[in-house]
Amino acid sequence: MIVSLWKLSFVESYFNMKILPFIFLMFFLANCKQKKLNKIAIQPVVTIAAKPLINYDSCKKEIINVKENHHNDWGQLSKENKERIFTNSLTNTILPSWIGTQWSFNGISQVPQQGSIACGYFVTTVLRDGGVNIARVKLAQCASEEMIRTLVQPKYIKRFSNVTIENFIESIHQQGPGLYIVGLDNHTGFIHNDGTEIYFIHSTFVGSRNVQKEKAINSIVLKSSKYKVLGKISTDEKILANWIKQKLRNKFRSFFLNNYSLN
């Protein structure tokens, strides 16, 4: 019994001499770390100011005005001029309105800067609001390649597999200025070649998780996609005909509703 007590006393002494100082040291270090974190936490947070609301209806009306100005002489215009008018109409009005709108996988917003929008819905909503008669929801839910095949004739579609971003950009330069739809492994968006620079405009989960316009050559999303499908929508004569005639369809629809309503 005395031996056992002696052993217990020895263990307690050893614990006090060796273990307790170590525990006190760890507690001290943890306390210092917490104080440091508290100091960091109270630093002021820098926020990015929200973008002012854009009058989206005025953007749509501006496109209607462009169509009115060119409708009568559309048949006499060169294809290059038609493509330029179509491209500028979308890239100067509808597309910029969406920059900064939040992305989400299930986003279906129809108003820029409100709610969120997924990549497919971003493409189809821009086209619809830009005056192209399309099935917005159905196409937004398709795989990106299927969406492009539905909208663009095969002769205006190119496919790229395991090419460098430099070769991809060079191909766009060779095809010339205009508006393209690009389909990636798991993503879609617009490519805009303005004749000087090439931009990728898309609603993305990468970075700030919103609709972004970035130089295509610097895009992480473009670089990481092994497979790319590129449809030059602005040069497709069927799309251009669809676009210029859509205003007339809307006029006839409004006339019918106003004059032959059953109510």
| Tens-place pLDDT, residues 195-254 | 999 999 999 999 999 999 999 999 999 999 999 999 999 999 999 999 999 854 444 444
Q: What angle do CA 116, 119, 124 make, to 5 degrees?
A: 95
pTM of the full structure = 0.75
Residues with Cβ < 8 Å from 155, sequence gap 6 or more?
none
User: For residue range 35-71, what is the model confidence (pLDDT) as tens digits?
Assistant: 443 433 333 323 233 344 568 999 999 999 999 999 8
User: For residue range 186-207, what is the model confidence (pLDDT) as tens digits?
Assistant: 999 999 999 999 999 999 999 9
Tokens of 241: 């005909």
Average pLDDT value over all residues in the chain: 82
Residues with Cβ < 8 Å from 26, sequence gap 6 or more?
none
State which amino acid sits at residue 184.
Answer: L
Residues with Cβ < 8 Å from 44, sequence gap 6 or more?
none
- Asked if pLDDT for residue 2 goes beyond 80, the answer is no
Q: Do the beta carbons of residue 113 and residue 54 sit within 8 Å?
A: yes
Q: Spell out the domain ranges in the chain.
A: 56-249
- Asked if pLDDT for residue 163 goes beyond 70, the answer is yes
Residue among 195, 203, 200, 207 nearest 181 (CA): 200
